[in-house]
Amino acid sequence: DAEVVLHAVRNCGAALQYADLSLRSRRDIVLQAVSKDGCALSFAGEDLRGDYEVVLAAVKTHGWSLQYASPQLRDREEVVSIAVSRNGNALQHASERLRAEYSIVLVAVNQSGTALEFASGNLRANASIALVAVNQHGLALRFCSEDLRARREIVWTAISSNGLALEFASEALRSDSEVVWAAVQKSARAFQFVGGHLCEDVDFAVKIASYSPGSIAVAPPALRRNKRVAIAAIQQSPTIFNDLASELRHDPDIVQLAVRTKGAKLQQLPPHFRHDKTIVLEAVRNDGYDLQFASELLRADVDVVMAAVESKGLALQRASQDLRSNRNVVLAAIAQDGLALQFAEEELRGDFEVVLAAIRKCSIAKLYASEALQKNKLLTPCPITNPFAAEGCSSVIFTLEDLVGLPHEEDTVHVKARIGLGGKQALASVPLEASLADLARALRESAGLSEKQYIHVTTPGHERIRPMDAFMRLRSLCTSVDSTSL
């Protein structure tokens, strides 16, 4: 049914493929189809593919539809010109005569530089055409004539568009430090195409690696294996360590630098480095939890373990049994995290001073003290009550406004809160490692309220701190200690 088909192609030109063969030769139907989708020309009858008006309508909506036009129309300048202005690569479907026509090719490469591939040999050697092409798409340089790929102006324009175009430059220009430097600035991977003496120029490679560390992954073999180049890259981007040549990833100096700058974790290193005290020390200073990957011998080394627990108190868990009985090591661990008490040996969990230090750091550390000390009233002179009121209870509301850490008081946070809906404020200073319950008690005391009174505490976003959050640390509300923040 012609009316049905006409309605269908007005909405979707490709619907023409489902029409009866007789209707695909109906000019009005095909014209509607190609006006919607130029590629519907492929379903048109043979005679309509040679119809000037139909083909012109098709290429206006989709330049690529030129391939379905009759040979005669693919040799018509006005048809091809419109087609390549929509899709430059449609030039490949133009007649041989028009692929050698300057004005047609110029329109094509201006729309898509890579259309230069389909131009005639003479025009691929034309400097003005080439300049337009590489400016539009740097990789079009590969389709330029050999002479043009040796022209500095052409190559410079190409790499300014896409650094990887260096691959298609002449050997002389790939050996030109200025050209290579410009290419690498656009794309680190362009360094793989460096040529001539630059393939062994360590000083130039160090400059490249310092600017673009990723370039070392594709550097010529001699430079990729060079220690100076690797060090320059790691200093700029420590994580480049994993892209280094295998022999460099086994070099102690390189490994130590990568670990110190947090570019490599102990678990990523070749196994023998887990026995190297210098390397392991660097690793646990950055992240105490890396102690778990150290050799058994080093997990019994007091220097290594001390560095680990000073970084992460809970790393005490991975220390040898002897060091978990070492008073100084345990005290260092709980100074960083009171909960490290749970990994101390039984004797120290019954040591009053050790337990007291842990509880001062984190009140719930008492749960890990010996049974006798858990009952010791000197450690809990008065019952610890939860100061937070339950949801729905009527009580005074404190809204936190500022938590301020001062540079000379790194472990203290100064808190300002608004009381109720009025303008009164409560001011308090509490340790950074204090619990939220400690914060609530300090605010309650600042406001002159009874120790037995429960209170509500909310953040500026009106998020209420719940009773179950009482033992969370104040640090959980802070994004930084040296600035005012919540």
Asked whether residue 484 carries a pLDDT value surpassing 50, the answer given is no
Please give the helix or strand (H or E) that residue 34 lies within, else none. helix 27-36
Average the pLDDT over 305-317 and give the result: 95
Please give the helix or strand (H or E) that residue 399 lies within, else none. strand 396-406
**pLDDT the model gives residue 380:** 62
Cβ(308)–Cβ(284) below 8 Å = yes
Over residues 102-146, the pLDDT tens digits come to 999 999 999 999 999 999 999 999 999 999 999 999 999 999 999
Asked whether residue 100 carries a pLDDT value surpassing 50, the answer given is yes
**pLDDT the model gives residue 207:** 95
**pLDDT the model gives residue 24:** 87
Asked whether residue 486 carries a pLDDT value surpassing 60, the answer given is no
Over residues 194-216, the pLDDT tens digits come to 999 999 999 999 999 999 999 99
**pLDDT the model gives residue 361:** 82
Give the pLDDT band (50/70/90) at residue 410.
Answer: low
Q: How far apart are the first and last CA of the chain?
A: 71
Over residues 156-189, the pLDDT tens digits come to 999 999 999 999 999 999 999 999 999 999 999 9
**pLDDT the model gives residue 483:** 41
Over residues 348-359, the pLDDT tens digits come to 999 999 998 888
Angle at 270 between CA 268 and CA 271, to 5 degrees: 105
Which three-class secondary structure state does DSSP give residue 462? coil
Q: What percent of the chain has pLDDT over 70?
A: 95
The reported pTM is 0.64
* HEC assignment per residue over 344-385: CCHHHHCCHHHHHHHHHHCHHHHHHCCHHHHCCCCCCCCCCC
Over residues 378-402, the pLDDT tens digits come to 676 445 578 998 888 888 999 988 8
Asked whether residue 406 carries a pLDDT value surpassing 70, the answer given is no
Asked whether residue 408 carries a pLDDT value surpassing 70, the answer given is no
**pLDDT the model gives residue 85:** 96
DSSP lists the bridge partners of residue 396 as 455
